[in-house]
Amino acid sequence: MTTNSSEVFVFRDGEITPLSARSMRTGLFGKNLEDALQTLFEKCPQLIPGKQIDPGSDEPPKFVLLRREMPVGGWSLDHLFADQNGILTLVETKLVENPESRREVVGQIIEYAANAIEAWSNGRVRQKASEYWTQKGKSLDDILLKEFGDELDLEEYWKNLEANLHNGRLRLIIAADDLRPEVRRMVEYLNREMENAEVYGLEIGCFGDDAESLVIVPHLVGQTQENIDRKTSTRRSVTWSYATLKSAFEEISDERLKSCLSRVLNWAMEEGCFLEAATQ
């Protein structure tokens, strides 16, 4: 576990010096632990370690914050992010110190995911995210283009995100300074058994004596070699998402057939009848 057992060393002037671990139980930025973690994720989405989520990938996921305190099913999720592939990532920051809270935090984020389609589909996730950034005097579109590249087709991106949402392609992350073995086992079990959704724990280690200059180390929990191998195998197949189908239709020379297929595809998306499929 990052906080208790990891060691970080500084190599300077030919000598290696251990960097002392700093307990985040006292918080950061003058805030308690949960508030400090939430602020860290808001300011630094790159704390979600894309290279640990998809190791070996030439384009590991990178993230944009869509909204803090995202409404879902009568509650509010701490953070909602999206990656460049239009996959929503739900992040809940918690202290998990007793058996009740350990079970509660896992059940809570699963409940958020279970209500996500009803709460966020039909453009609502885009609306809520735009409202959040407008209140901060910024444009959500500008943020997406800056992070994911100017060539990003925003309308296609949001259609693809909606398709992923309808197909249950979500990423769920429980973030804490320290995850107990019981939580780790639950996360690993869920990530192994879930077909579409990914479930991870994320430990945030903090090292250094100077509160103004700290080393922060994210460590992903739940990404087993079995899951990596399964994901690698899946990447060899073609996943027929809304975006890939529409792109394939554009290559059809028969204009009448192309138009007909496109109308059927758009109808399926609008009615919530579209399901992704993969072929080898």
Question: Where does the pLDDT of residue 3 fall: very low under 50, low under 70, confident under 90, or very high at 90 and above?
Answer: very low
d(CA 99, CA 185): 13
Q: Is the pLDDT of residue 279 over 60?
A: no
More confidently predicted of 274 and 143:
143
d(CA 231, CA 236): 9
d(CA 228, CA 61): 14
CA 240 distance to own-chain centroid: 21
Q: Is the pLDDT of residue 150 over 60?
A: yes
Q: Is the pLDDT of residue 232 over 60?
A: no
* Token pair listed for 82: 């999206």
Report the pLDDT value the prediction gives residue 72, as an integer from 0 to 100: 94
d(CA 9, CA 20): 9
Q: Is the pLDDT of residue 272 over 50?
A: yes
Query: pLDDT tens digits, residue range 58-117?
Result: 889 999 999 999 999 889 999 999 999 999 999 998 866 656 566 788 889 999 999 999
Report the pLDDT value the prediction gives residue 269, as an integer from 0 to 100: 84
Residues 6+ apart with CB under 8 A from 40: 28, 47, 204, 216
Tokens 């949960």 map to which residue? 34
Report the pLDDT value the prediction gives residue 99, as an integer from 0 to 100: 61
Report the pLDDT value the prediction gives residue 212, as an integer from 0 to 100: 67
> Which residue, 272, 45, 56, 74, is CA-closest to 171?
45
Report the pLDDT value the prediction gives residue 2, as an integer from 0 to 100: 46
d(CA 58, CA 134): 33
How open is the CA angle 79-83-84, to the nearest 5 degrees? 155
The most confident of the ranges 6-10, 77-81, 271-275 is 77-81
Report the pLDDT value the prediction gives residue 28, as an integer from 0 to 100: 67
**Averaged pLDDT, 21-50:** 78
> Which residue, 240, 223, 241, 243, is CA-closest to 231?
223
pTM: 0.77
Query: pLDDT tens digits, residue range 173-229?
Result: 999 888 888 888 899 899 888 888 999 999 988 887 776 678 888 999 987 666 656
**Averaged pLDDT, 36-42:** 84
Query: pLDDT tens digits, residue range 160-177?
Result: 999 999 989 999 999 988
Of all residues in the chain, the percent with pLDDT exceeding 70 is 82
